[in-house]
Amino acid sequence: MTHTLPALPYAYDALEPHIDTLTMTIHHTKHHQAYVDNLNKAIAGTEAENMDIISLMGAISKFPAAVRNNGGGHYNHTQFWMALQPNAGGTPVGALADAINSTFGSVEALKEQMNAAGATRFGSGWAWLGVKDGQLAICSTPNQDNPLMDIAECKCQPIFGIDVWEHAYYLHYQNRRADYLAAIWNLVNWEELNNRFVACK
């Protein structure tokens, strides 16, 4: 299949002041577009061309680094955009809210643990909330890896991944990754995250 850049479900300036307009524009039209273009080039004429992105992640050890890096980049950014929305945040809803409370004690504790996972990821990568063996779990991955990959140290069904590459925050937050991580929670679409949680239970 030929992969395509998904349209954002909101305008580039809609996540201000938490994520600035220039960062959103470059992140989507340049970074994510490049992952899509380079993924399509890397899979052209190979077995990977016939696989959807989820199947590809699960078998990523069979493919070259260009497929891992760009395929991961495409999957990771797609789930990231769709997990955010303007004027969001608030509190978790539905079965996910119950699971967060029973696993972490509170949504504040979840945020603390996930922010710590993002803050301590050396260099570039992602912090993840996912479902492992029926339970919520938090972990992080380097580069454009994700927990769906067969090579991942922390395998789970992702619910929400936060991009902690410098390109995700540097224009506005410079070196202050922790401030960016704190601000992200004002944009979380909890309805979408609950839908993902329910779908993988």
Structure tokens at 98: 């119950």
**Would you say 33 or 113 has its CB closer to Mn ion?**
33
Looking at beta carbons, which residue is closest to Mn ion?
Answer: 163
CB of 36 to Mn ion, least distance (A): 13
In sequence order, which ranges of the chain are alpha helices (DSSP H)? Answer: 21-26, 33-43, 53-58, 65-83, 94-104, 107-119, 170-173, 177-184, 190-200
Residue 122: burial class (beta carbons within 10 Å; 0-12, 13-18, 19+): exposed
CB of 41 to Mn ion, least distance (A): 19
**Would you say 107 or 149 has its CB closer to Mn ion?**
149
**Would you say 136 or 177 has its CB closer to Mn ion?**
177
CB of 31 to Mn ion, least distance (A): 5
Q: Using alpha carbons only, give the angle 66, 70, 76 rounded to the nearest 5 degrees.
A: 145
Cα–Cα distance, 171 to 75 (Å, whole number): 23
Q: Which of positions 156-175 make contact with Mn ion (CB under 5 A)? A: 163, 165, 168
**Would you say 28 or 132 has its CB closer to Mn ion?**
28
Name the 3-class secondary structure at 27: helix
Q: Is 126 in the site for Mn ion (CB under 5 A)?
A: no
Site residue total, Mn ion (CB under 5 A): 3
Using CB under 5 A, list all residues that contact Mn ion: 163, 165, 168
